Structure 1
Amino acid sequence: MDGRNWRILAASVAGTIAIFAVLFFLVGGRRVLEVLFTATPSLVAVTFVFGLAWLAAWSLMLWVILGTLEVDVPAGKSFFIYAAVVFANNVTPFGQAGGEPVAALLISRTSRARYETGLVGIASLDVLNVVPSVSLVLVGVGYYAAHFTLGDRLQTAVGSAIVVVVSVAAVLLLTWRYRHRFVDRTAGVISRTAGRFRLARFTTEAITEQTIADRMHRFFGHVERVAVNRRRLVSTLGLSLLGWLFQGAALLAAFAAVGHTIPLYVVLFVIPLGNLAGAAPLPGGLGGIEAAFVALLVPTTGVPASVVTAAVLIFRAAIYWMPVFIGGGSMTALGVRTLA
């Protein structure tokens, strides 16, 4: 990791610390710690079990997608590969947006697939996860709106989510429609700038404009293969939905651990909306996601802010920190010592 990357990482870690400091100041750090110390251990353990179930469901998503791309990876190994992918996302600024290139490299190294195949695999997983998440937001917010008045904060969050999803979908559709023109216009730019990021050491091929163009054409070919296989596509979407529901169950268990219950319909939209903060320039969205969850859950549940914060910290321990430890160990077990 060069000096520039270290500076970016240091800045993102500083941002995370600052957000947590402000959050604890606003909600009362001492009260949060008191709630955490009185949490029911067995229900905390249940939270972690649901966290493992979520990780397993989305690792099976990756297994199905890689199988569609004719990458032969055992289902058990895909769990450790995906855990390592989550680790890469969680320690990279901008969350999944920053971790996808690293995750693609990890997949290619551990499965002997081409880099662009790994990139299609992890990008497809992230894109397909959007479909169930948007559906859950619409169902949850729709039920909430039918019984309560939507506050300004919730309206802003939902509006922002819709804008982001529509914008991303539009960019993806336009890129796909004009993919051949896109390749022609960008291959040269990529080949001229690749040296700045020292990508040559990750491949035995010379990074020329033709090489980049060939890889981009293969990339779009792989995307088409994933999209047209309806049976596998339905299976992948089902596993995605199951993973989201496991996350919801983990959040419910975390609140139960601190002695409170919250409505399921709130959980359905809070988790996808809160995860939008993962696009912030923070390691895996750490700090930003916790603050977003608290900001959404306090007005929609009526639970005291300190209790909400404690429950969110337990939930994030299962969804963020557990995959970090499992994924870090997976990278070592898979023989990946460095990605940069």
Structure 2
Amino acid sequence: MEGPQRRALILGAGGAVLLLAVLFVVVGVDRVVDALVRADPALVAAAAGLGLCWLAAWSLMLRAVLGALDVEMSVPTAFLVYSGAAFANNVTPFGQAGGEPVAAALISKVGEARYETGLVGIASVDVLNVVPSVSLVFLGVGSYAATTAVGDRVGFAVASAVGLIAAIVTAIAFIWRYRTAVVDRVPGAVGPFLGRFERFDAETIEAGLADRLGNFFADIERVGTDRRRLLGIVALSLVGWLFQAAALTVAFAAVGHPVSPLIPVFVVPLSYVAGATPLPGGLGGIEAALVGLLVPTTGVAASAITAAVLVFRGAVYWLPMVIGGASASALGVKAFE
């Protein structure tokens, strides 16, 4: 890892620690620790198991996407590769946006595919995950609003999520519409610019970038044309989101405060908006977002909510970090250098 990357990681980790420290101070460290100590071990283990089920569902998504690109991968290998991708997302700033290039390198190495094919694979999984998440947010908030008044925090979170998703979808649609122009013009601009530096050859950069961009868009088109496979991929995404919602529901039961399973269905996808912050995997930001959303929607004490959130994040952040780190080491740690 080079100097700028190392500094970004250190700054992001420092920001996450600071944000978590502020959260604990506001909520009360002693009360949170007490709630965690009294948590039911069996239910904590069940939450961890549901976290693994989520990881398995989304690893099958990746396998299905790569299958559309003629990259064959066994189910166990796909699980290890996606775990490694999750590890990359969790240790780089801006979540998926920061981890995708590293995850693409890992997929390329393990699947013996072009780098741009690996990038299309992991990017497709991340983009397709948006479809069911938005559906769950609107369905969950709509059902919640039918019986309870929606507070300002939830309304603001929904508006922020919709705005962010709309901006991303608009940008993707714009690039896709003008993909031919991107392939024709971007290499011609980037090549001469990098050619000013002695270590780069302008013509080589231009030709290589044009080839990679052409392959990138061609691979995206291949994924999108198989409608039946696409439907199955989106279904796996939905299953993964529901496993995460179930993990949070069980985490609340573990700390002795059962909540309606409906609330995590929309709160979990909403909280991931905080993953767009320059924090490693959204660490600190997602925890704060979850607590901020769950306090007005559940009526449970903030300390108990924080404890439940920590159990949940242990299942969907720290456990995949451990598995993903081991996977990255086993499959080829050089992809992370």
TM-score (norm 1): 0.95
| Aligned match of 1:254 | 251
Q: Distance in 1 between matches of 2:292 and 2:40?
A: 24
In the TM superposition, residue 195 of structure 1 has moved relative to its aligned partner by: 8.8
Q: Structure 2 counterpart of 1:236, which letter?
A: I
Q: Distance in 2 between matches of 1:6 and 1:192?
A: 29
Pair 1:291 & 2:288 matched: yes
| Aligned match of 2:265 | 268
SS in structure 2 of the partner of residue 104 of structure 1? helix
- Residues 4 and 306 (structure 1), Cα distance of their counterparts in 2 relative to 1, 3 Å cut: same
- Residues 236 and 194 (structure 1), Cα distance of their counterparts in 2 relative to 1, 3 Å cut: farther
- Say if 1:257 and 1:311, in contact at 8 Å, map to a contact too: yes
In the TM superposition, residue 335 of structure 1 has moved relative to its aligned partner by: 2.8
| Aligned match of 2:22 | 22
SS in structure 2 of the partner of residue 284 of structure 1? helix
Out of 316, 319, 324, the position equivalent to 1:327 is 324
Q: Distance in 2 between matches of 1:136 and 1:10?
A: 34
In the TM superposition, residue 338 of structure 1 has moved relative to its aligned partner by: 4.8
- Residues 326 and 195 (structure 1), Cα distance of their counterparts in 2 relative to 1, 3 Å cut: farther
- Cα RMSD between the aligned structures? 1.7
- Residues 214 and 140 (structure 1), Cα distance of their counterparts in 2 relative to 1, 3 Å cut: same
Q: Distance in 2 between matches of 1:224 and 1:9?
A: 34
- Say if 1:59 and 1:79, in contact at 8 Å, map to a contact too: yes
| Aligned match of 1:54 | 54
Q: Distance in 1 between matches of 2:178 and 2:102?
A: 26
In the TM superposition, residue 185 of structure 1 has moved relative to its aligned partner by: 2.3
Q: Structure 1 regions of 5+ residues with no counterpart?
A: 201-205
Q: Structure 2 regions of 5+ residues with no counterpart?
A: none
- Say if 2:105 and 2:335, in contact at 8 Å, map to a contact too: no
- Residues 336 and 184 (structure 1), Cα distance of their counterparts in 2 relative to 1, 3 Å cut: same
Q: Distance in 1 between matches of 2:63 and 2:190?
A: 30
| Aligned match of 1:213 | 210
How many residues align? The count is 333
Q: Distance in 2 between matches of 1:187 and 1:282?
A: 31
**Percent identical across equivalent pairs?**
55
SS in structure 2 of the partner of residue 147 of structure 1? coil
| Aligned match of 2:124 | 124
| Aligned match of 1:203 | none
In the TM superposition, residue 193 of structure 1 has moved relative to its aligned partner by: 6.4
Q: Structure 2 counterpart of 1:264, which letter?
A: P
| Aligned match of 1:301 | 298
Deviations 1:58-115 (A, max 9, x none): 0000000000000011121100000000001000011111111111111101111000
Q: Distance in 2 between matches of 1:134 and 1:191?
A: 39
Deviations 1:28-69 (A, max 9, x none): 011000000000000000001000000000000000000000
- Say if 2:224 and 2:230, in contact at 8 Å, map to a contact too: yes
What aligned pairs does 1:160-175 form with structure 2 within 5 A after superposition?
160-175=160-175
Q: Structure 1 counterpart of 2:285, which letter?
A: G
Q: Distance in 2 between matches of 1:30 and 1:228?
A: 54
Q: Distance in 2 between matches of 1:147 and 1:232?
A: 37
Q: Distance in 2 between matches of 1:90 and 1:148?
A: 35
- Say if 1:194 and 1:207, in contact at 8 Å, map to a contact too: no
- Say if 1:60 and 1:79, in contact at 8 Å, map to a contact too: yes
